Structure 1
C-alpha cells in the first residue's frame, strides 16, 4: 500500500494531469501534476536499478517541483528519505551520508547540485523536461514500508535525526488538512526551508494530500514574496518575521483566507498589524519534528489537535517518572498518533524513543494548560532559541566555534533586534592577546565553513572571561551584560 498522500497525488495526476501543481515563483514557471508524476516515475525506475528497495536516499536541493518529484519517488518506492537543503555544509552532508549509509543522492535542482559528493555514490538530477513518462510499470505503490529522516533542533533536550514511519507521515498530513481545512482550490505559499519539519509538512505533505497547489519561494521578501501573496495565494504558513514584513504591503480583498505561524510565539502587535493590513485571521501552530502538529488556534491560545494527548510535569522533578497533570503549569509532555519512532543518529543502532512519561514525550517547553484544555507556551526549559523560524542550539554552535585556533572559550546567546528578529551573538574568550580583528575573521570563516546560515553569529564580542557561578556553571543570563549588549545590537543592524 502506498503512503496515503502519495496515493492521493497519483490519483489526482491521472485524473487531471494538466492541472497546475507547483509554481516556482523565482523561476517564473509552473509544473503540472502530470509532469511531476512523470518525473517521479522515471526517478523510481532509476532507483530500482541503482539501489536496494530499503535504501536510504538523500534528497538534496531547494523546494519546488523537483523536490516534490524526488520525494514522491523515494517514499512511493518504499525507501527511506533524508532531505537536506543546499545551505548545509559539505562536512555535514558527508557525515549524514556516512552515519545513515546513504545509498544514492537525488538532486532537486540542476543549478544547486552537491559539488563534491562522495566518490562512487549514485546520483541523479530530477528531470522535469523530458517527454512524459512512457507508461511503463508504476512502481510507486510501495509506500507503506517507507520512512522519513528529519533533523531535529533539540528543543526536547535531545538534538538528532528523527525517524518517522509511513503511518506517522500520513497522520501528520491528514491532521493539517483537517485543521487548516485545505482543499483542491487552495494555493499555499511555501517559503520555509523544505528540509525542516515545518517546511515539508506545510509546503509538501498537507497540500499534496489535499490536492492543493503550492507557490514555492525560497524565503520571503517584500517584492516577489509579497507579489506571490497577492496572486491567488489562499494559505500562508509563516514565521513571525515574515508576517511582520508582509504587514507592510498588505492589501484587503485578495484570495488570502488564512495566515499562521509556528516556531515561536507571535507578538500581539505583529498579529494585529497583519490582520489589519490583509483582513484575514492569523493562526498559531505549536508542533515538533518528533510529533508534528500539537496545538492549533486562531487569534488565541491553541487547543490539542485530533489524536494528541497533552499534559504537564514539574520540570525540576528529578525522578524517572514525574507525575503528569492535565491542567496547570510545567513542562509540556505530548503523545500523538503521529509520534516519531525515535531518534536515529546512526543506521546501525535501534531508535532512541527519547525521554517519555506515561508514553508522553517530554518537549522541553514550558507552558500552561487551562481547565478547558487550551495550551499557552510560556518559554523553554532548555537553551534553544529561534532565528527566522529555525532553531539554534547554542551548545552545538559553541562546540563548532570552540575549535577555532586562538579561541579559549566561546558562548552563544540570542540578540533580539526587534520583537520578531533574533540574531546569534558569540561571546569569545581569546587564548592570548592576539589581534582581535584577525581572530574575529577566523571565527567567521569557521562559521561559514561548518554552520548553516541561521546558526552563524551575526555579532562577535570579546571578553576576558565568561561569567560563572561558584561551582563553575556558566551564567548565561549575564552573558549579554558582560558583552555590552547595547553596542552589539547597534553593530548588528
Structure 2
C-alpha cells in the first residue's frame, strides 16, 4: 500500500462500484446503516470540519466513542485529514482519562453523549483541548454537537500520506498499570488484513461480522472495521456491554457469519447455552484472543455450535493476531502456529533461543509492529528490539511446532524450584464442572515460600469447604501434585480490563 489508508479501505470500494454496499449497521433495535459511499462522504465531511475547526495535521483527536455509526465516520475522517485519531477505552475512570488527555496532548475530543459525565472533569482540566464534539442532541457549555460540527461541510480532499506516516494511536489496555500510547502507521492496517484477515480468518465480501470486542481495542478494530472493510463486507456495531444474553440475542437477530469474542465471554456464553439451548443460527467462523482460550471451553463451544473457535494471540503493539489456530488445524489448549507473514521465537532470560520443550518469552517480527510508545523512550527500547517485539508472554514450543501459552512473564513463579504456569492451573480448574472462571497467583506460606492461590467464580453456589478440597485433588490429578492451589477463595467476579484480560496484578497485591 502506498498512500493514505483511507484510499484502500474506503475510497477504493466506491471507485470500483461497490459504494452502495453496506459497511456498518447498528444492532439492538438501532437500525441505522451506512453504505461505503455514505461513509466516504461522511468521513470527508469530518475531515473538512477538522480543518475548519483549526485542528492541524498530526494533532491528536481523542475518541471516547461507543461502537456506533459515528465511530468509523470520525476515525476515517481524522485519517483522511491527517489528524491522528486516538480511540479510548470507554470504561475507564475520570482520573485515567485525565492522564491520557494530558499525555496525548489531544487537541480535539469526540465523545458519545452517554460518556460525557465521566470525562467532563478531565476535559475541562485539559490545557490542550481546543474542540469538544459531543455525539448527541445537547452539547454542554464549551462543546458542539457532532451534527453542528459537520454542518455545511462539503467533502474535502484526502491528505497524501506515506506507509510510514503515523495514522492513529491506541492506548494499551493497562492490564499491569497505566496505559501507554502505542503509535501505528498507515501500512499496519493493511498488513493485518493481508495476513490474519485474509489468510486465517478468510474473510469474504458476503460475510457479516459481529465483534463483541469493542472498536477501541486493537483486536476489535481489526475484527469489526479493517477486516470487513478490506473486502467490502459489513460489520454489526453494538454500543452496549457484551453479556452472554446480549451476545446470543445479537447472533440470533442479526445472523452474523463471523463472531469474534474473548475467552471470558465464551465461557459465560457456554454456561448460558448449556442451560437454555443454542439458537438456530449458523456461524461460519469464530475467533478468540485477549487471553488464551481454555481447552474445555473451545471443545464445549464446538459441541454446541458445530464450529471451532480459532484461538490466537495478538497485542496492541502488533495491532492484531500473529499466532493462531487456523481453519482445519485447531488444537485446543494451544495458540497454534505463526500467522503467515509473521515470525516468532522463544528466548530465555539471557536472550538465547529456546527449542521444543523449553519455556521462553515470545518475540514476534512482522509488518504491523508499532512505531513505538509515545513519550516512553525507555519502555520503547525494551519492548521494540530492532525488528523484534517482546510480547511479555511465556510460551512452550511443542515438537509439532505449536505454541502453548504458559502465562505473562510477570505472572510466572516457582514452586519447589519448578516453574508454574498460572494458566495451566487455571485450565485445570475451569475444566471442573462447577467452575466458571479461575485466576491463579502466587501467595506466601508460613515459611515465606511461594505457592499457588486460586480465586474462583462458580457457576452455582455450593458447599465451599467440600468443593475446595475436591478442587485441590482435581488439580493434583490433572496437572501435578506440586501445582495444586494451597488456598482457594471463592469470589463473585474477577478483576478484568475492559478487553476481558484478568488483572492478576490486583490479585497478587491482595494475596500478598
**In structure 2, what is the equivalent of residue 421 of structure 1?**
437
Q: Displacement, 1:141?
A: 5.1
Q: Displacement, 1:419?
A: 5.5
The question of 1:369 aligning with 2:389 is answered no
**In structure 2, what is the equivalent of residue 360 of structure 1?**
388
The question of 1:89 aligning with 2:93 is answered yes
The DSSP-based 3-state class of the residue aligned with 2:191 is helix
**In structure 1, what is the equivalent of residue 48 of structure 2?**
45
Q: Displacement, 1:377?
A: 1.5
Q: Displacement, 1:151?
A: 2.1
Superposition TM-score, scaled by structure 1 size: 0.72
**In structure 1, what is the equivalent of residue 130 of structure 2?**
121
Contact kept, 8 Å, 1:187 with 1:212, in 2: the verdict is: yes
Q: Displacement, 1:297?
A: 0.7
Give me the whole-angstrom Cα distance separating, in 1, the residues matched to 2:358 and 2:29: 48
Q: Displacement, 1:65?
A: 1.4
Give me the whole-angstrom Cα distance separating, in 2, the residues matched to 1:121 and 1:134: 19
Give me the whole-angstrom Cα distance separating, in 1, the residues matched to 2:384 and 2:44: 40
Give me the whole-angstrom Cα distance separating, in 2, the residues matched to 1:61 and 1:97: 15
The question of 1:282 aligning with 2:309 is answered yes
Contact kept, 8 Å, 2:67 with 2:237, in 1: the verdict is: yes
More displaced stretch, 301-310 vs 363-372: 363-372
The question of 1:296 aligning with 2:324 is answered yes
The question of 1:236 aligning with 2:236 is answered no
Give me the whole-angstrom Cα distance separating, in 1, the residues matched to 2:245 and 2:367: 40
Unaligned segments of structure 1, at least 5 residues: 385-412, 428-465
Match of 1:139 among 135, 150, 158: 158
Q: Displacement, 1:174?
A: 2.3
**Alpha carbons of structure 1 residues 490 and 350: separation in structure 2 relative to 1, 3 Å:** closer
Give me the whole-angstrom Cα distance separating, in 2, the residues matched to 1:333 and 1:361: 5
**Alpha carbons of structure 1 residues 9 and 62: separation in structure 2 relative to 1, 3 Å:** same
Contact kept, 8 Å, 1:369 with 1:375, in 2: the verdict is: yes
Give me the whole-angstrom Cα distance separating, in 2, the residues matched to 1:2 and 1:491: 46
What pairs up with 1:292-441 in 2 under 5 angstroms?
A: 292-298=320-326, 299-300=330-331, 301=334, 302-314=336-348, 317=349, 319=350, 322-325=351-354, 327-331=356-360, 332-345=362-375, 352-355=380-383, 359-383=387-411, 421=437
Unaligned segments of structure 2, at least 5 residues: 136-145, 413-425, 456-467, 469-484, 496-512
Contact kept, 8 Å, 2:22 with 2:233, in 1: the verdict is: no
The question of 1:150 aligning with 2:170 is answered yes
**Alpha carbons of structure 1 residues 479 and 191: separation in structure 2 relative to 1, 3 Å:** closer
More displaced stretch, 251-260 vs 45-54: 251-260
**In structure 2, what is the equivalent of residue 195 of structure 1?**
216
The question of 1:166 aligning with 2:186 is answered yes
Q: Displacement, 1:153?
A: 4.2
Superposition TM-score, scaled by structure 2 size: 0.70
**In structure 1, what is the equivalent of residue 26 of structure 2?**
24
Q: C-alpha offsets along residues 112-147 of structure 1, whole Å, 9 cap, x if unaligned? A: 334342365312246579999876433365475342
Q: Displacement, 1:255?
A: 3.7
**In structure 2, what is the equivalent of residue 112 of structure 1?**
115
Contact kept, 8 Å, 1:150 with 1:162, in 2: the verdict is: yes
**Alpha carbons of structure 1 residues 134 and 61: separation in structure 2 relative to 1, 3 Å:** closer
Q: Displacement, 1:221?
A: 3.1
**Alpha carbons of structure 1 residues 421 and 177: separation in structure 2 relative to 1, 3 Å:** same
Q: Displacement, 1:474?
A: 9.4
Q: C-alpha offsets along residues 227-281 of structure 1, whole Å, 9 cap, x if unaligned? A: 3212320111111232234440664763410112112222222212211221112
**In structure 1, what is the equivalent of residue 504 of structure 2?**
none
